[in-house]
Structure 1
């Protein structure tokens, strides 16, 4: 009897999915020129992808090896395109998911000649235009007309992968040759959840920023005249939800919900916390070094969608008005704008933690500056009709007063600027950040003065912060002067204070608030003189001299009343008020014209920063794809 040709393989010690063996066969170093069989590809697109396994295999291949095996990677792209175009489930979804992982891993390797090497890996230099054009056209069709949202989402993610991973090469230019904007908008319109909208909104930001300072980017032009409210509102709702998620990641590190005014908190406040009754357990605060590390890793990669929001806000007033006025879909939840302001407050307090956080802080400030420069929008931001409640960051002292009631958005934005100024003071000062913060303050105060609008706000906190900033700059004058924008910073700060002094009666709510500004200037008299001398402002700044003249005027009055000594702490509020009022009668404020003058936001002025932000968003897009 002849032995049976069938033999039993020994059972492997560790089970390996069949798709992993197919990956290994596809990216095997040997036989790189061999055409894989039709049967191989039939089986390949039959098995569900193993993203972790594919990433591991691709991660072990060096850039040179990737180029050496380009025949097989080119076959993968061509075969995947065929499966997607055939629109047969599940092969089309498998092809898109596989491509997403492959593109992320293969395109981010450090090739010697990135553009040409990546083209070789994907399509070959001779066939690049035909293959890539076909690929983009296929993605476009699926994004617009795919049979299911999961399938279309797969095409969006593949688009995000190739856009992000190839941002420093010529690859995204294929997306500018074929306009995906209508398809992306159609996709957003059909989405049911914010999670589905996010990748498409993210893609839009990357595409709109690709080489936009070198040529007329078609996606940027598309943003100008897009007026579909329903689609815009879906993107804004997605943005608001993303902001809440990003904010909650900060809160997860340190829960900063202010306590109610209880017996325990009262005893603690006066130094008798040991006598306080035990309270409910709270989230443990990590050790300082651990907290520092955790905060430095934030915000999460979803933050890249801030770039898309900025581009829309900078180009489209319909988007801006929707951003400010859109309410939440669920009653009781914060509106998208409230969510954004809340997240921004956490971002601003921790802007100094990393260069990446600082870049996104600039972007957030650009958005706020764009909003407050539009007089119709700013009128809305100061209107009771748009009042909202915003949870502001309280993770580091000094704290601003807690306001539990709803406020106009402009008041919240003032708080963001105050917190940003207070919590990012460093000898190596981020001057760009401070110029932007002061610019937003100047635009809001200028509008309030012209409109004679009086909003409820703790104005004393603003004056205290600005004058404390003056003291800080005086202390570290040599470090500040080394920055090329230091003169702009100093002039903006001085003009802002002088403008408040000369025009405060137009927007401050009552005489006492105006008196408080004068009194704080008097208290800072010596500092103002040192500040003037440190930055050589005596001959070139009429605003600076105005501040010193006012301070000197009241010093002389107080000295007369107090026998040569300024003993402000011993004066009662009524006495202070009387001295201030007496001083008004003999005070002459020589307010220069144009103290509230500001230049409209011009994107080109921030070209270098915006290019860095686009690269940061590109890296975050790759991280986001890896997490998904």
Structure 2
């Protein structure tokens, strides 16, 4: 019998996908790439991880050496997208997204010109890049499928983020994708698909916005489509919930007593809880530190888009404040934003990136509470919402179950911000913003005489603890830029509360409590005044007012028992009586204009906003890569 002509070939250890072999050919400048190569290339399902791995192994000089191939890839992908033939158009967009993100992110010697060489060549740059943007614009607006339109948005986001500090995004400003992005948003049925477009819009608005008249920024001013605005806000709200839940996943801070199960666990009967599972012990601080430091998730860059809309568009602000939850039991967009902000504030100290986004949240809140129509809504019963506030670090605010007016929750956020970011090298600008938001809320309550139900004693305790902290670390704080203005903000805020508290505090006992806490801190106030040299400054009447009031009541309380201070041993009724008696003999003049504030001006925070934009660009890159 003759032997079979077929011979068994040993199996390789692993099979290499055909597309990876094509990638290797693409990235080898010794090959001439035929039209047949490209026909095959755009028919194989892409391997994004494989392409990324190969591209990451190339340096900027290698990319420039391969510019003949990279230009062919760029032109060929644009052509396939324009032809709108499945699956080549989708493959082209997926490939472009990975290729452009990797190629544009390299550290070129001359970024703008080198990138143009990689993509199109210096002589063809305008025509090729304009054609590229026009192609994306057409697909975003009227692509043959929702999936293809989403891919086009993601490609535009990836390119804008990767090339933000070059001239490439200027092609997006020349073309103006705003109408197409709005139509895309209008057509989206899933809020998750809105996020890339909303994110992209924020980057485009911030591209050189302080250097020239950015057309996207102008578009925000007069945009009045309620339906599209509400879709963007709903998307933002759901994104905030997702980002907040990432913090909770590291350390579940659901307060004890909120569920039957937690109550039974607390008393050792957790096995009786419905659907009970073995409880997981709270993670140690050294375990959670790196996990918390990596948050917030990269979706946080969409907060920049929200800020720009809030700063430019009154209709967007109104919808952000008033839009209800989509489903019963879910958080409204405002509640979701406030909840995320609470977690941002408690962890703002963990990284420079976290603190930048905490600033951005404060800018949004300041703009909202400055608007007289919006602050009226935030202080009214119509604004009542339930918000999950962060309880991952002490001190904790008192548990407040059920719905509360939004302004009360905003005050809670400011208290948490002040309490959880105390450092010797204090973030002065952060504290100025927190104090400024508090002043705006309190001055409105006082002017309109709204007696807001709130745990006011927590606010007074926080402010006076801040006095104590600053007195203790005055030598560290004094040299910091802006510390003098921050000190003035703090003193004037407490003096304003003292002089106007009867207009917004719900009952006499709450007003008495403010005076009593001031008396307890009298010696700290004197130390504070001397440490920051306030007695030598003109206009130091506010600190003098606080000290005089404290001294007045010290005298009364010392007179209750042979000159010995025994206020801590007095019953609440005795303290109340002493405070009330003191009103009759108390005389103080609070400085004029304590409740005044200057409206937010973006130009005043230009440097900080540029840093925030850079952080958002980096997060957009990560966001695009994850998808």
Alignment of 1:381-396 (within 5 A): 381-396=378-393
- Note closer, same or farther for the CA distance 1:201–1:262 as it changes in structure 2 (3 Å cut): closer
Residue 573 of structure 2 corresponds to which residue in structure 1? 574
Contact 2:201 2:305 (8 Å CA) reproduced: yes
SS of the counterpart of 1:538?
A: helix
- Note closer, same or farther for the CA distance 1:406–1:266 as it changes in structure 2 (3 Å cut): closer
SS of the counterpart of 1:302?
A: helix
How many angstroms does 1:203 deviate by? 0.2
Contact 2:383 2:406 (8 Å CA) reproduced: yes
Q: Distance in 1 between matches of 2:262 and 2:132?
A: 63
Residue 230 of structure 1 corresponds to which residue in structure 2? 227
Q: Distance in 2 between matches of 1:440 and 1:248?
A: 26
- Note closer, same or farther for the CA distance 1:488–1:246 as it changes in structure 2 (3 Å cut): same
How many angstroms does 1:569 deviate by? 1.3
SS of the counterpart of 2:559?
A: helix
Residue 159 of structure 1 corresponds to which residue in structure 2? 156
**CA offsets 1:415-460 (integer angstroms, 9 cap, x no match):** 0000111111111111111111000000000000000011111000
Contact 1:264 1:276 (8 Å CA) reproduced: no
SS of the counterpart of 2:213?
A: coil
Q: Aligned match of 1:126 in 99, 104, 123? A: 123
SS of the counterpart of 1:147?
A: coil
How many angstroms does 1:283 deviate by? 3.6
Q: Aligned match of 1:137 in 108, 115, 134? A: 134
**CA offsets 1:351-408 (integer angstroms, 9 cap, x no match):** 0000000000000000000000001100000010110000100011111010112000
Q: Aligned match of 2:395 in 393, 398, 409? A: 398
- Note closer, same or farther for the CA distance 1:138–1:401 as it changes in structure 2 (3 Å cut): same
Alignment of 1:151-550 (within 5 A): 151-260=148-257, 281-540=278-537, 541-550=540-549
Q: Distance in 2 between matches of 1:539 and 1:15?
A: 80
Contact 1:253 1:295 (8 Å CA) reproduced: yes
- Note closer, same or farther for the CA distance 1:63–1:8 as it changes in structure 2 (3 Å cut): farther
SS of the counterpart of 1:121?
A: helix
How many angstroms does 1:510 deviate by? 0.4
Shift >6 Å, 4+ stretches:
5-10, 261-268
Q: Distance in 2 between matches of 1:68 and 1:503?
A: 71
Aligned residues: 617
TM-score (norm 2): 0.96
Matched, 1:63 2:60: yes
**CA offsets 1:539-593 (integer angstroms, 9 cap, x no match):** 4311000000100010111111122121111111111111111110111120111
SS of the counterpart of 2:534?
A: coil
How many angstroms does 1:266 deviate by? 9.9
Residue 623 of structure 1 corresponds to which residue in structure 2? 622
Q: Distance in 2 between matches of 1:560 and 1:11?
A: 98
Residue 19 of structure 2 corresponds to which residue in structure 1? 19
Q: Distance in 2 between matches of 1:264 and 1:521?
A: 42
- Note closer, same or farther for the CA distance 1:511–1:166 as it changes in structure 2 (3 Å cut): same
How many angstroms does 1:111 deviate by? 1.1
How many angstroms does 1:477 deviate by? 0.4
Q: Distance in 2 between matches of 1:487 and 1:58?
A: 51
What's the Cα RMSD here?
2.0
Q: Distance in 2 between matches of 1:600 and 1:356?
A: 26
Alignment of 1:83-122 (within 5 A): 83-122=80-119
Q: Distance in 2 between matches of 1:381 and 1:278?
A: 40
Q: Distance in 2 between matches of 1:264 and 1:153?
A: 42
Q: Distance in 2 between matches of 1:134 and 1:373?
A: 44
Unpaired segments of 5 or more residues in structure 2?
A: none
**CA offsets 1:466-488 (integer angstroms, 9 cap, x no match):** 00000000000011111111011
Unpaired segments of 5 or more residues in structure 1?
A: none
Contact 2:236 2:333 (8 Å CA) reproduced: yes
Contact 2:309 2:316 (8 Å CA) reproduced: yes
Contact 1:254 1:283 (8 Å CA) reproduced: no
SS of the counterpart of 1:561?
A: coil
Q: Distance in 2 between matches of 1:140 and 1:105?
A: 22
Q: Distance in 2 between matches of 1:262 and 1:318?
A: 38
TM-score (norm 1): 0.96
How many angstroms does 1:9 deviate by? 7.4
Contact 1:253 1:285 (8 Å CA) reproduced: no
- Note closer, same or farther for the CA distance 1:612–1:542 as it changes in structure 2 (3 Å cut): same
Contact 2:477 2:483 (8 Å CA) reproduced: yes
**CA offsets 1:293-341 (integer angstroms, 9 cap, x no match):** 1100000000000000000000001000000110121122111111111
Q: Distance in 2 between matches of 1:513 and 1:88?
A: 71
Q: Distance in 1 between matches of 2:541 and 2:237?
A: 44
